Structure formats: structure tokens, C-alpha cells
Chain A
Amino acid sequence: AQSVTQLDSQVPVFEEAPVELRCNYSSSVSVYLFWYVQYPNQGLQLLLKYLSGSTLVKGINGFEAEFNKSQTSFHLRKPSVHISDTAEYFCAVRVGFQKLVFGTGTRLLVSP
């Protein structure tokens, strides 16, 4: 079964520093991958998605992710984070026709 692994449960970073949140997926054909963000006391919001085409995907709020088939990775990056980026980030993979399976989440803590 397809799955995703988020390697870091928590990532502390200083404001304006770059950040990378790691996600690895189990290998399969037709991989569709997603990153979601969850701010405190809110639902999940789609940041970006990879369905096909260019391996560099740009999303909202300055985030981007790169699909790497050889390393089965889909890491999320931002060149300069803000305090407001403090949130939980979830990687997800499509399984079956319309289902998503989510990773365990990575808590990004941005401090001044």
C-alpha cells in the first residue's frame, strides 16, 4: 500500500532562515503527492500538489516542493520563513481513486 513518511516530527527555525520539511513516499506508479498546512485550531489547507509534469511545484505562501522519483521524496522548502508559518505540515499521497493517506505531520516552529 502507498504511504508517506515524514522524517521530522518537529523543526525549529529562526525567522527569515530557509527551511526544508522532508517527506518520502513508497514507490508506485502514478504518484500524486500533496502538502497541507494546519494552523492552530483550524482545518487542513492545501499548500501545493504534484500530479505530473514539472518536478518543481510552487504553492501558496512562498512554499515549493520538488518531486524526486529516484529518491522517492517530495520535500517542502521555503527560502525565508516568517513567524506566521508556524504550523503543522502534512504530506499526503493519493491511494485508490480519490483517497489520500497522510503522514504523521511535522511541526514547524519559527522563532524571532
Chain B
Amino acid sequence: DAGVIQSPRHEVTEMGQEVTLRCKPISGHDYLFWYRQTMMRGLELLIYFNNNVPIDDSGMPEDRFSAKMPNASFSTLKIQPSEPRDSAVYFCASSLRGHYEQYFGPGTRLTVT
């Protein structure tokens, strides 16, 4: 199994630009999670989906952030416009209903200058 796939692995962009992060969950998993990791705030859950439907987006910091899951094998996290404080590592994770453990991707390191 390929595991959770994220792209790009690194993204450097200028303030004000749109950023799109991508995630492919493990095949067959029906939950998908987006996390953000920073030194100051640790690992934060941003949003999660069940069967492609957003269940809880209470962790999304503000309207500049949006996430979609158009099908079971693909999700995006978009930041528009990006700001330097968005610099972080963004992780995608997936899990199978009833199994609770989450499988993480390698992350996308975002730097906004």
C-alpha cells in the first residue's frame, strides 16, 4: 500500500498568493483529516471528512482557509490569500471507520514570505 500521499512536499510562496495542498488517502479509508503543525501551537486539527462530507471544520483558522474532498481519493486544502503566519507543516491523515488510528502522510512544509 502506498500510504497517504501529499503534494507538494515543499511550497514556498509570497504573501497574498493562493496555495493549494493536495492529499490522496489510503484506498478504502473513509475518514480524512487535515492538520497543521507549528512550534508555537503544536499539532492542530483543521478539518475532517467522512465519506467526502466535511464533518467538523471548527479548527479552520479563518475564511482564508478552505478544504474540499470531491471524491474518495482526493482532497485539497486551499489558502487564499496566504500570509506569513500560515507558514507551517500541513499533514493529511486517513482512517477507517471503527479503527480509530490515523495514518499520516509525509506532510507539506509551507513557507510564506
Which residues of A are interface residues toward B (Cβ below 8 A)?
Answer: 32, 34, 36, 41-46, 49, 51, 90, 94, 96, 98-105
Contact = CB atoms under 8 A, between A and B. Distances in A.
Nearest to A32: B100
B43 A90 contact: yes
A45 B104 contact: yes
B43 A98 contact: no
Interface residues of B, number: 21
A98 B31 contact: yes
A43 B42 contact: no
B48 A46 contact: no
B25 interface: no
Chain B interface, >50% SS class:
strand
A interface secondary structure, majority: strand
A51 B107 CA distance: 27
Given A43-B4, A43-B107, A44-B91, A102 B100 contact: no
Contacts of B104: 36, 43-45
A96 to B, nearest CB: 8
Given A34-B100, A43-B104, A98-B50, 11 more contacts: A32-B100, A34-B101, A45-B104, A46-B102, A46-B103, A96-B56, A98-B48, A99-B48, A100-B45, A102-B43, A104-B42
Most-contacted residue by chain B among A41, A46, A100, A101 (CB, 10 A): A100
A105 B31 CA distance: 24
Nearest to A94: B100
Interface of B: 4, 31, 33, 42-43, 45, 48, 50, 56, 91, 93, 95, 97, 100-107
A92 to B, nearest CB: 9
Given A98-B31, A102-B42, A49 B100 contact: yes
B32 to A, nearest CB: 10
A67 B95 CA distance: 23
A94 B50 CA distance: 16
A45 B91 CA distance: 12
A44 B106 CA distance: 8
